[in-house]
Structure 1
Amino acid sequence: MLTLLFYIFIAITAIQVIYFLIFGAFAFAKTKKSKQYDIPVSVLICAKNEAKNLETLLPELLQQSYKNFELVLINDASSDETLEIMKRFQKSTNNIKIVDVENNEAFWGNKKYALTLGIKAATNDFLVFTDADCVPTSKHWLTEMTQHFSSKKKIVIGYGAYAKKKNSFLNLLIRFETFMAAVQAFSYAKMGIPYTAVGRNLAYHRDEFYRVNGFVNHMKIRSGDDDLFIKDAATSKNTAICFSKNSFTISEPKTSFSKWFQQKRRHVSTSSHYKFIHKFLLGTFYLTQFLFWTIAIFLFCTSFWQMALLIFAFRISIQYFILGFASSKLKEQDTLYLLPILEIFLVIIHFGIFIANLTSKPTHWK
């Protein structure tokens, strides 16, 4: 039985190595731009009780170097001063449009319904999305994102990073998980099978939205305005990725484990609606990752420990090599300092999320 387990360990390690080689599709990718400049763009922000964050975000957006854009601010039935903040900024500039979703409308589809109203109200066909609780890392954010549009590329997936906090293991864990999720998303998109994006840094042409009937296919699922839309609309031909450092957005991460855990539960809950190929690829990766660590730790306590250690070291080396290049692209090199420890924590957390989501449904948009 021990020998059989050792051979299983070899097979699982081989699968893991194959996955990291797949991730090399992004790790060694080069930026390709269509060189389109100043196409008319509408930037959409859906906000619910985000008065404080809008005070920070809107000045940053208004200082973008991009010339030809409007801001579509969607007030999703807020109970704070969100609408008042939007109106105050609207008075000082001529490129802000406000969409006010009333309470009696908000029940139907919630955020997706509010976004749909915003998309319909947008003047321009090229749409760029971000969230109220994050900011672009550069005044060239819009320029970088829109330069990936072309006659064929109608969807652009960007990177939404989290702010770095010193001396915080939780912050390191959150950023490592976000980095790994982006590596997978970008890699699969490069391979022609895009499956997800983050709504805080996403762009697409209005035609792509109407081609798949917007959010209709998943309107009753309150989360998924980004990844489930990508599931319906993204193809190998119409999707581009943007990972230049000036194209990132940055958000404030959760400061408590419980809040972050609930956030991840919401995100993971939408994965059950992914296409079979994506569920299979993601599920196989996480399952073999769990088995790799579980069996490795067990074999280290047996007579096979030396051979198991060699195989373990080989897999870790490949992982460091591939993720090293990927982290350099996304400016997340420090997340690899404690790579084995962070990975073990994520394996445990993913298992906990799986169990928790089996027993109860997570809550969604505010």
Structure 2
Amino acid sequence: MIIDQFTLILGITVILLAIIASLASPFLHKVKMKSGKQISEHKETQPNLSIVIPVHNNATELQSNLPILLRQEYKGNYQVIIVADKGDRDVEELMKRLKEKHDNLYVTYLPDSSRYMSRKKLAITLGVRAAKTEWIAIINPTCKPVNEDWLTSWAENMEDDTDFVMGYVALGKSIPPIWRFEHIQTANNRLHSAQCGKAWATNCFNIAFRKSRFMEEDGFRGNLQITRGEYDFLTNKLGLNRNVTVDIRQASWLYEDEISDEEWKKRKKYFYASRNLLNGSRSYSLCMLFNNVMLYLSFLTSLAFSVFGYLSHNWIVLGCSSFSLLLLIVLRTFLASKVSRCLGGDIGLSHMFAYDMRLVWQNLGYKISYIRSDKNYFTSHKL
């Protein structure tokens, strides 16, 4: 068969599209195990620190997750500060029982009159103010460490030249695989950005910072109008253009075993509500748009040219199109699998490309859901 110019252009075009679409993948740059400087391990002494946990209707999670946080094997002094809603009897009774056994537990309650500010941001602010240490870790009551050595590993990041620490939260196997796939994609993207000096957001409820920096920056001032997004705002305000350490060592992971469908969708909609207030969100959105366009452009072009080659008996075009489709699937799956292994995704290789394609529409669904929502739902007070 004589290869004419038209056939040659089609073949080269479809293969180049597959290569570009693979290079546009959010999984192309994998977060490194340790960022910048090496983390000093096995210190003789470790900094005193406080773990602040904002609580809202989380008595069940606290009963399951709090005991192991109170039993950490740690060389320094540490305190767990619980900030809960006043009048939550389940939490109050649980705290009363635990305080009898643990001297490092401190509990304070939100006043009933706090109506014009995000209660979660207020809870974090009260917890930070109550802390007597320079270093403060903020975690969700739905998260827990796997053993008693987590705090020792986590505190190794708190060096003199570090301002902010970002960690990873792994999702339990009972959580739908598509959610876990999306979680590791987002976590990898944001943690890698932080390692490149652009810590602008996080989807992992596992951060630490200096109390002095929080007070100097007036805490959540500038984003009090949005009810949620507290971890993103803290990362953006205290981590952007600062000395940030990213720790994805498994010993420093937290784990979240269960997330309801309602809570998962809430998190996505709240991110859309808050992202315009985050420095760096625009470049992220453009990168994701480019990824989505290139992924579907390559996939659909390969399919269309395959059909054209078959119908026109142009076996060169058919071969190039089939090869480009296979190349796209293999490369995107390979890149995703590397990150998944690193971040404990435990997702089958055969599903990864399908999840990659599906996320485009799933994220579009989140955005449409946010657009159709009453925006007052995301606002803590009206000016």
Band the TM-score falls in, shorter-chain normalisation: 0.7 to 0.9
Describe the superposition over 1:288-333 as per-residue Cα deviations: whole angstroms up to 9, x where unpaired. 3244225513540332554344334334433333333322222224
Q: Secondary structure at the match of 2:99?
A: helix
Q: Is the 8 A contact 1:47 1:74 kept in 2?
A: yes
- Same amino acid, percent of matched pairs: 19
Q: Secondary structure at the match of 2:32?
A: helix
Q: Name the counterpart of 1:174.
A: 179
Q: Secondary structure at the match of 2:144?
A: strand
CA distance in 2, matches of 1:350, 1:81: 36
Any gaps of 5 or more consecutive residues in structure 1?
none
- Which of structures 1 and 2 has the bigger CA Rg? 2
Q: Name the counterpart of 2:20.
A: 14
- The one of 258, 275, 278 equivalent to 1:274 is 278
Q: Name the counterpart of 1:360.
A: 373
- The one of 344, 349, 359 equivalent to 2:357 is 344
Q: Name the counterpart of 2:55.
A: 47
Q: Secondary structure at the match of 2:219?
A: coil
CA distance in 1, matches of 2:199, 2:141: 25
- The one of 276, 282, 291 equivalent to 1:288 is 291
Q: Is the 8 A contact 1:33 1:147 kept in 2?
A: yes
CA distance in 2, matches of 1:267, 1:172: 21
Once the two structures are overlaid, the 10-residue window that deviates more, 182-191 or 329-338, is 329-338
- The one of 205, 217, 221 equivalent to 1:212 is 217
Q: Is the 8 A contact 1:148 1:156 kept in 2?
A: yes
Aligned residue identity for 2:264: W
Q: Name the counterpart of 1:327.
A: 340
1:307 aligns with 2:315: no
Q: Is the 8 A contact 2:72 2:150 kept in 1?
A: yes
Instruction: Specify whether residues 289 and 18 from structure 1 end up closer, same or farther in structure 2 by C-alpha distance, changes over 3 A only.
Output: closer
Q: Secondary structure at the match of 1:129?
A: strand
CA distance in 2, matches of 1:274, 1:309: 42
Q: Is the 8 A contact 1:26 1:183 kept in 2?
A: no
Aligned residue identity for 1:66: Y
Q: Secondary structure at the match of 1:326?
A: helix
Instruction: Specify whether residues 208 and 255 from structure 1 end up closer, same or farther in structure 2 by C-alpha distance, changes over 3 A only.
Output: same
* Number of residue equivalences: 360
1:192 aligns with 2:197: yes
Aligned residue identity for 1:272: N
Instruction: Specify whether residues 336 and 65 from structure 1 end up closer, same or farther in structure 2 by C-alpha distance, changes over 3 A only.
Output: farther
RMSD of aligned residue pairs (Cα, Å): 3.1
Please state how far the C-alpha of 1:278 moved relative to its aligned partner: 3.5
TM-score normalised over the length of structure 1: 0.86
Q: Name the counterpart of 1:23.
A: 29
Q: Secondary structure at the match of 2:113?
A: helix
TM-score normalised over the length of structure 2: 0.83
Please state how far the C-alpha of 1:180 moved relative to its aligned partner: 0.8
Instruction: Specify whether residues 8 and 237 from structure 1 end up closer, same or farther in structure 2 by C-alpha distance, changes over 3 A only.
Output: farther
Query: Aligned runs of 1:109-258 on 2, under 5 Å?
Result: 109-165=118-174, 171-198=176-203, 200-256=205-261
Aligned residue identity for 2:207: L
Aligned residue identity for 2:283: F
Any gaps of 5 or more consecutive residues in structure 2?
1-8, 309-316
Describe the superposition over 1:65-110 as per-residue Cα deviations: whole angstroms up to 9, x where unpaired. 1142111110134544112212321122211111111211254232
